[in-house]
């Protein structure tokens, strides 16, 4: 086997240490690690899954093994091909591929059924008629042992007959359950005769109506790992209590390979929810526009918002892999996004709140062009041309009729620099009938082109601008955090109470330099002084472009919280 070298500056995490020890001591078949990413296709993947995806696929890459994609499709009532397709798209977006190793729990239904029959024949499983409520009552508590079901000693022949009749569809849902016969007094509740099969009448997205009994997760998942020769079954800490059930299932007679389960801390981020159930409620009740709403913490949501896959992989790498649960600050994620986009985003000038500038001494009808760098951080990013004429737009906040102390932008009598272009001086203003400023008349210095003057004078203020008549007009969606509380619902018990009313502000007409007409989905942009943006992948189209704000240039949430009175 090729020698494994650790080139990262960071120390090995505990899973890497286990793997390197296993490889060094030749404990693995063919000295090859095999991991898997096993999502249930009952919703879209969220940011928390990125950590698991990067861990499982990343370990396989690092140690020259392989990672399987296995869809845990054991509950047809909640699963859909839409979810399966979205899961594949998300993993590919992150830059990982499973090659020919795409599997489904449903691939093993016949084998799982045969194993269940064998357990019945060996007296290790029985058909139970207890209802869900009764089963919960019989199970006991964390401090009190459970008690045996009245059906626990049902004869083997009767168990076999009932199980076959369950498979043939002779009983309604809930009438019977197949349970393992383990130990109702076990200190681990998951080992108190866990359910192996239940009756469910629902069309499966892959097997159709072939089955009306479906295996339970704690039975299916470990056996699927064993069938696929998984060496390191890596999951989050909430499955730690399920490890005895995992070990029990993989030790069933006839199962030749024994994988091992290792648990790590899941990714928890403040201001976000990672519950599929709660996210589904937001979607179904129109609090958001869908699973891919750019405010959603789904992978499809952050992709549509303009987060790059590189930034998300950097984020989970910085968080690391640990055994203890914790909460990561949202600002770290946005820091990683900014760090990455700063190096790749094309710079454009865009005016979100326009105020018209008329340069009185600039020739009517004249248009000239200035060269702008696409990205000052990337010398190979190239340049583009920006049109300039007599009529421009600047941001309304860049002009004050009566300036406050320390204000260095445009006001009557003051001279500023227009980025890339000329020095201008405000001379007079026009107002509407309500007293609102609608235009500022200026003069320009023709000898200041590009920001230099013969007398070498300097100005303190610089404003970005857009040519009024040669520009792109687009809708801009200003996205922010979906929740205004670090822990949604912590105070009132209802996470909906903490929805941020300003999580989306739509600006229907924003003026962007003409270069924006060439913007494509998947490209990244920095609107100078305004933030990072991307083309919306669903609603933007030629002639009606839509840009989504990915994030601000700085972490402005502290200031926003103060305005909203949030501590």
> Which ranges in 173-308 belong to alpha helices (H)?
217-227, 243-250, 276-284, 299-305
Q: Is 449 a catalytic residue?
A: no
The owner of tokens 């389960």 is 261
| Catalytic (active site) residue 318 | no
* Helix extents (H) in 35-78: 47-62
**Residue 213, both tokens:** 């009994």
User: Which residues, other chains included, contact 353 with Cβ-Cβ below 8 Å and sequence gap of 6+?
Assistant: 395, 396, 397, 507
d(CA 326, CA 51): 14
CA 557 to chain CA centroid, Å, is 20
214: left (phi over 0), alpha (psi -120 to 50) or beta: beta
Q: Among residues 36, 66, 139, 276, which one is catalytic?
A: 276
The backbone torsions φ and ψ at residue 259, rounded to the nearest 5 degrees and listed phi first, read -80, 165
CA distance 422 to 348: 18
Pairing of strands 195-199, 524-527: unpaired
Q: Where are the alpha helices (DSSP H) in 94-187?
A: 109-121, 132-139, 156-167
Candidates 471, 409, 474, 408; CA nearest to 440 is 409
88: left (phi over 0), alpha (psi -120 to 50) or beta: alpha
Active-site residue (options: 78, 118, 152, 266)? 266
Q: Is 40 among the residues known to form the active site?
A: yes
**Residues 221 and 246: beta-carbon distance below 8 Å:** yes
Catalytic residues, by residue number, are 40, 266, 276
């Amino acid at each position: 086997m090729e020698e494994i070298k650790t080139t990262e500056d960071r120390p090995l995490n505990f899973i890497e240490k286990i793997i390197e020890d296993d490889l060094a001591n030749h404990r693995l078949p063919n000295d090859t690690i095999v991991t898997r990413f096993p999502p249930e296709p009952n919703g879209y993947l969220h940011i928390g899954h990125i950590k698991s995806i990067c861990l499982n696929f990343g370990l396989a890459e690092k140690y020259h093994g392989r990672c399987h994609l296995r869809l845990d499709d054991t509950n047809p009532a909640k699963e859909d091909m839409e979810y399966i397709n979205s899961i594949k798209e998300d993993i590919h977006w992150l830059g990982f591929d499973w090659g020919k190793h795409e599997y489904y729990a449903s691939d093993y239904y016949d084998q799982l059924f045969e194993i269940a029959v064998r357990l019945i024949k060996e007296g290790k499983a029985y058909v139970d008629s207890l209802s869900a409520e009764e089963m919960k009552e019989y199970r006991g508590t964390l401090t009190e042992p459970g008690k045996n079901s009245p059906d626990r000693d049902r004869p083997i022949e009767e168990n076999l007959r009932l199980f076959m009749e369950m498979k043939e569809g002779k009983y309604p849902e809930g009438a019977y359950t197949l349970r393992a016969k383990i130990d109702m007094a076990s200190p681990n509740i998951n080992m108190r005769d866990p359910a192996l099969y239940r009756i469910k009448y629902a069309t499966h997205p892959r097997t159709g109506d072939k089955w009306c009994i479906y295996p339970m997760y704690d039975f299916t998942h470990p056996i699927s790992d064993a069938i696929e020769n998984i060496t390191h079954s890596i999951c989050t800490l909430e499955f730690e209590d399920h490890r005895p059930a995992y070990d029990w299932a993989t030790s069933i007679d006839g199962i030749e390979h024994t994988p091992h389960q290792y648990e790590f801390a899941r990714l928890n981020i403040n201001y976000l929810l990672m519950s599929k159930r709660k996210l589904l409620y937001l979607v179904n009740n129109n609090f958001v526009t869908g699973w891919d709403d750019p405010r959603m913490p789904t992978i499809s949501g952050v992709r549509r918002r303009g987060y790059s896959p590189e930034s998300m992989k950097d984020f989970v790498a910085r968080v690391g892999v640990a055994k203890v649960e914790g909460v990561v600050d949202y600002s770290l994620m946005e820091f990683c996004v900014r760090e990455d986009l700063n190096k790749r985003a094309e710079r454009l000038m865009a005016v979100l709140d326009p105020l018209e500038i008329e340069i009185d001494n600039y020739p009517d009808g004249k248009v000239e062009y200035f060269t702008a760098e696409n990205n000052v951080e990337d010398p190979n990013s190239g340049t583009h041309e920006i049109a300039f004429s007599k009529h421009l737009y600047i941001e309304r906040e860049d002009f004050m009729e009566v300036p406050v102390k320390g204000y260095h932008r445009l006001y009557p009598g003051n001279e500023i620099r227009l980025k890339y272009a000329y020095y201008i001086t405000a001379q007079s203003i026009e107002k509407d009938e309500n007293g609102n400023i609608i235009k500022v008349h200026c003069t320009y210095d023709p000898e200041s082109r590009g920001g230099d003057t013969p007398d070498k004078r300097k100005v303190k203020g610089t404003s970005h601008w857009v040519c009024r008549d040669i520009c792109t007009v687009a809708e801009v969606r200003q996205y922010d955090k979906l929740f205004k509380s670090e822990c949604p619902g912590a105070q009132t018990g209802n996470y909906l109470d903490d929805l941020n009313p300003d999580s989306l502000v739509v600006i229907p007409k924003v003026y962007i330099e003409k270069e924006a007409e060439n913007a494509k989905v998947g490209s990244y942009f920095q609107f100078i002084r305004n933030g990072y943006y991307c083309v919306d992948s669903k609603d933007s189209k030629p002639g009606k472009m839509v840009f989504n704000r990915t994030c601000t240039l700085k972490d402005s949430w502290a200031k926003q919280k103060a305005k909203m009175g949030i501590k």
